[in-house]
Structure 1
Amino acid sequence: MTASVSMPTGGVQVGSYDSYEQAQAAVDHLSDQKFAVENVTIIGSDLRMIEKVTGRLTLGRAVAAGAAAGAWWGLFVGLLLGIFSPDGSSWIGSVLAGLLIGLVFGAIFGGIGYAATQGRRDFTSTSKIVASRYDVMCQPAHAEEARAHLARFSLRG
Structure 2
Amino acid sequence: MSMPLGGVQVGSYESYAQAQAAVDHLSDQKFPVENVTIIGSDLRQVERVLGRMTWGRAMGAGAASGAWWGLFVGLLLGIFAVTGTAWIGSILTGLLIGLVFGAVFGALGYAVTRGQRDFTSTSQVVASHYDVLCEAGHAERARELLARFALRG
Give the TM-score normalised by the residue count of structure 1. 0.91
1:73 positional shift: 0.9
In the alignment of these two chains, the number of paired residues is 153
Cα deviation code 1:28-59 (max 9, x no counterpart)? 22112211111001111111111110000011
Cα deviation code 1:48-97 (max 9, x no counterpart)? 11111000001111011111111111111111111111112222221111
Give the TM-score normalised by the residue count of structure 2. 0.94
For residue 55 of structure 1, what is the amino acid of its counterpart? G
Q: Distance in 1 between matches of 2:3 and 2:20?
A: 23
1:143 positional shift: 0.8
1:127 positional shift: 1.2
Matched, 1:16 2:12: yes
For residue 90 of structure 2, what is the amino acid of its counterpart? S
1:19 positional shift: 1.2
- Which residue number corresponds to residue 138 of structure 2? 142
For residue 73 of structure 1, the aligned residue among 44, 62, 69 is 69
1:8 positional shift: 5.5
Structure 2 unaligned runs (5+)? none
Alignment of 1:49-128 (within 5 A): 49-128=45-124
Q: Distance in 2 between matches of 1:109 and 1:50?
A: 28
Contact 2:6 2:37 in 1 (8 A): yes
Cα distance change, pair 126–6 in 1 and its aligned pair in 2 (3 A): closer
1:148 positional shift: 1.5
Structure 1 unaligned runs (5+)? none
Q: Which has the larger radius of gyration?
A: 1
Contact 2:3 2:135 in 1 (8 A): no
Q: Does the residue aligned with 1:120 lie in a helix, a strand or coil?
A: coil
- Which residue number corresponds to residue 133 of structure 1? 129
Q: Distance in 1 between matches of 2:127 and 2:149?
A: 22
For residue 29 of structure 2, the aligned residue among 23, 27, 33 is 33
Cα distance change, pair 155–88 in 1 and its aligned pair in 2 (3 A): closer
What percent of counterpart residues are identical? 75
For residue 104 of structure 2, what is the amino acid of its counterpart? I
